[in-house]
Structure 1
Amino acid sequence: MSAYIVAIIGSVLILLGIMELLRRRQLSEKYAVLWLVVGLLLLVLTIFPGLLGTLSSAAGVEVPSNLLFFTAIVFLIGVALHLSWELSRLEDETRKLAEDLAILRLEVEEQGKQLRGSNDTGR
């Protein structure tokens, strides 16, 4: 019974941690929703431990923990794929911004040279 209580407390602490990260704006809303759903599922599976057995029987999996591990692995692969996609997109955006900045700096330098040139001839 004490392991059951510890598991429930752990699940609640995970949910509170996610909410605290969201409150401090250290976790964006689009990721917070995903992690809140995961935290709630964890809490539900902790409160109702027989639910995992029922789900595994319905899925045709003999050992309930195998279903849990398989689901977790698929979820983590999905998160890794999504984060890789986000990283690639941000790298492209950073490169484009660096190119735009270089063009703007060149234009400012050229305008500065033109102004200095017109000031020198105006003296």
Structure 2
Amino acid sequence: MPNVAAFVLALAIVGLVVEMLRRKKLREKYAIWWLVVGIATLILAAFPQLLDVVARTVGIQLPSNLLFILSILMLLGVTLHLSWEISVVEDETRALAEEVAILRVQIEDMTEQLPTAQKSRIENVEGHP
């Protein structure tokens, strides 16, 4: 009976990931990990003895320990990947903030050189009193 629960859970994970992909709520590069987990769970639920065979082949006494090791390695991989993604986004955000600051200074310099009548029209458009 536990295999049926694992199989249903794996089907639910795969179905949810596919639905999130279809609705564009999850990007493909992140969905790959979830699909791998779901498919691996489907395979292990269908063939539970496979985990025993792999554990013995690798030299691990308890199959559950192999499952925990693989889960921890996957979580470490996901964490490393997300840390890398955050670093890239931080660099892009910093570059954009610097660019906006430069453009703001350039606009202020340009408005200082305009005649007074044009300055008041620009300030009204920008929402400044």
TM-score by length of 1: 0.88
1:24 aligned onto 2:26: no
- Indicate the residue corresponding to 2:40 in structure 1: 41
CA deviations 1:32-81 (Å, max 9, x no partner) are 12221221111111111011001101101110000000010011011111
Which stretch of the first structure deviates more once superposed, 73-82 or 3-12?
Answer: 3-12
- Indicate the residue corresponding to 1:12 in structure 2: 11
State the 1:116 CA deviation: 2.8
State the 1:119 CA deviation: 5.9
User: Structure 2: which 5+ residue stretches go unaligned?
Assistant: 120-129
Between the aligned partners of 2:6 and 2:29, the Cα distance in structure 1 is 27
Between the aligned partners of 1:46 and 1:116, the Cα distance in structure 2 is 77
Between the aligned partners of 1:43 and 1:37, the Cα distance in structure 2 is 10
CA deviations 1:78-114 (Å, max 9, x no partner) are 1111111111111111011000011011111211222
Change (3 A) 1:106 1:62: same
**Structure 1 residue runs of 4 or more that deviate by more than 2 Å after TM superposition:** 115-120
State the 1:118 CA deviation: 9.1
* Alignment coverage as a number of residue pairs: 119
TM-score by length of 2: 0.84
After superposition, the CA RMSD in angstroms is 1.7
User: Structure 1: which 5+ residue stretches go unaligned?
Assistant: none
Change (3 A) 1:12 1:111: same
Report percent identity of matched pairs.
46
